[in-house]
Amino acid sequence: MGVMAFLPLSCLGLLIASQGKNCGSAGVVDNGQIDYSNETLFGEKAVITCNEGYILVGQREINCGDQGWMDSLPVCEVLKCDPPADITDGKFSPHKESYEYLEVVQYSCVNDYTLNGSKSLSCSTDGKFTPDPPTCTRVECTDPKIENGTWKEGARPPYRYKSAVTLQCNSGYIMKGASIQTCDINSLWSPGLPQCTPVKCTDPKIKNGDRKEGSQPPYRYSSTVTLECHSGYIMKGASTQKCDIYGLWSPGLPECKPVECKDLRIENGDWVEGSRPPYRY
Ligand SMILES: *[C@@H]1O[C@H](CO)[C@@H](O)[C@H](O)[C@H]1NC(C)=O
Ligand SMILES: *[C@@H]1O[C@H](CO)[C@@H](O)[C@H](O)[C@H]1NC(C)=O
Ligand SMILES: *[C@@H]1O[C@H](CO)[C@@H](O)[C@H](O)[C@H]1NC(C)=O
């Protein structure tokens, strides 16, 4: 108070008062922020930013003057989107003239058509709906026919999107690929129809033995062979083998074991000379 009393010029007093002016809070911006980077003092400014999805209408900066904040606050208006695109064989809802930021529309397809793409779209920051609208496709897969195989269970025609069938090979054929097939969006069976290839048994090779008679190679399901052992060998197992549906010889290849004679003993007598055990052929 003592200092002010000695100031002779009123204009100087005004200047000091202006420079010391503190504008205080500029108020509230709905859906936005006011950034007073420094102090809310005379000559300083505040910067207004809007939240995501809102557009600033008015001045971005306001200045603190001797009468307080010299500019009026801008407003943050919600971002709007025009309606998204119409699609053939489908529709979206809700229908409106314009949509606000983050509003969502849902697409659907008419009967028998399948939605390909995203079902829901939302109004985004660029004023457009994202992602792109889906399309509606008529999905129909053809009969899942395979050579030497048949439909086993599952869906029946018409095969629509996600219809699933299980296939099987005729006996004597082995499946290469997946037995379960699903009709995909492109009207194709997924992962792709399997193949039925004839069962194949390997050459019925046995140690110290041979094929005697029976089917000729290639050995398919139900081919039959008879095996025999070389002389001096005796068979353990079945001589007749059949190629089964798994491509294996059934009941299982035999073995040829060396013939072995028992120790020879006679009452009141003994070995004099000759071979020693084991006694082979
Ligand atoms: C805040 O103060 C610094 C240095 O004092 C200056 O560089 C900057 O421009 C000021 N910011 C505002 C918004 O006035
Ligand atoms: C397997 O398919 C072929 C070709 O379609 C056919 O000629 C053959 O008769 C089939 N075999 C059996 C056992 O059905
Ligand atoms: C599904 O949509 C994708 C992406 O838009 C497109 O590339 C494809 O061709 C569509 N498929 C069908 C069967 O319409």
Closest CA to 89 of 140, 133, 132: 133
Question: Which residue minimizes the CA distance to atom 13 of ligand 1?
Answer: 37
Length of the chain: 281
Cβ 44 under 6 angstroms from ligand 1? yes
Residue 7 is predicted with a pLDDT of 42
CA–CA dist 203, 214 (Å, integer): 12
State the greatest distance between any 2 C-alpha atoms of the chain, in Å, as a whole number. Answer: 159
Tokens in use for 187?
Answer: 């009207």
- Give the number of the atom of ligand 2 that is nearest the alpha carbon of residue 196: 1
Whether residue 94 is preceded by a cis peptide bond, meaning omega within 30 degrees of 0, is yes
CA 134 to chain centre: 19
Residue from 145, 148, 168 to probe ligand 2 pocket by mutation (most atoms less than 8 Å from CB): 148
Supply 275's token pair.
């071979």
Q: How confident is the model at residue 199 (pLDDT cuts 50, 70, 90)?
A: very high
276 belongs to a structural domain:
no
User: Is the CB of 213 inside a 6 Å radius of any atom of ligand 2?
Assistant: no
Q: 112-116, 188-192, 273-277 — which one is most confidently predicted on average? A: 188-192
Which tens digit of pLDDT belongs to each residue from 211-236?
999 999 999 999 999 999 999 999 99
- Give the tens place of pLDDT for each residue, 232-261: 999 999 999 999 988 999 999 999 999 988
With CA atoms as reference, report the closest residue to 202 among 211, 192, 213, 194: 211
Decide if 91 is inside a domain: yes
36 domain residue, yes or no:
yes
Instruction: Please report the pLDDT score of residue 3 as a whole number.
Output: 41
Boundaries of domain holding 98: 80-138
pTM for the complete prediction?
Answer: 0.60
Q: Do 113 and 146 share a domain, yes or no? A: no
39 CB contacts (<8 Å, ≥6 apart)? 22
Q: How far apart are CA 278 and CA 255, in angstroms?
A: 19
pLDDT tens digits, one per residue of 122-146: 999 989 999 999 999 999 999 999 9
| Overall domain count for the chain | 4
Query: Relative to the alpha carbon of 195, which ligand is closest?
Result: 2
Going from the Cα of 217 to the center of ligand 2, the distance in angstroms, rounded, reads: 19
pLDDT in tens, 4-28: 444 444 444 444 555 667 888 889 9
Comparing 170 with 264, the larger pLDDT belongs to 170
Q: Is the CB of 187 under 6 A from ligand 3?
A: no
| pLDDT score, position 18 | 58
* pLDDT attached to residue 277: 85
pLDDT for residue 20 = 64
Rounded CA-CA distance 59/45 in Å is 12
In a domain, 217, yes or no: yes
pLDDT tens across 42-83, in order?
888 899 999 999 999 999 999 988 888 898 999 999 999 999
How big is the chain by its Cα radius of gyration, in Å? 46
Taking a C-beta distance cutoff of 8 angstroms, is the pair 148, 196 a contact? yes
Q: Are residues 74 and 21 in the same domain?
A: yes
- CATH number, domain of 127, equals 2.10.70.10
Would you call 180 exposed, middle or buried from its count of C-beta atoms within 10 A (0-12, 13-18, 19+)? middle
- Residue with more model confidence, 184 or 270: 184
Q: Is there a contact between 54 and 76 (Cβ–Cβ < 8 Å)?
A: yes
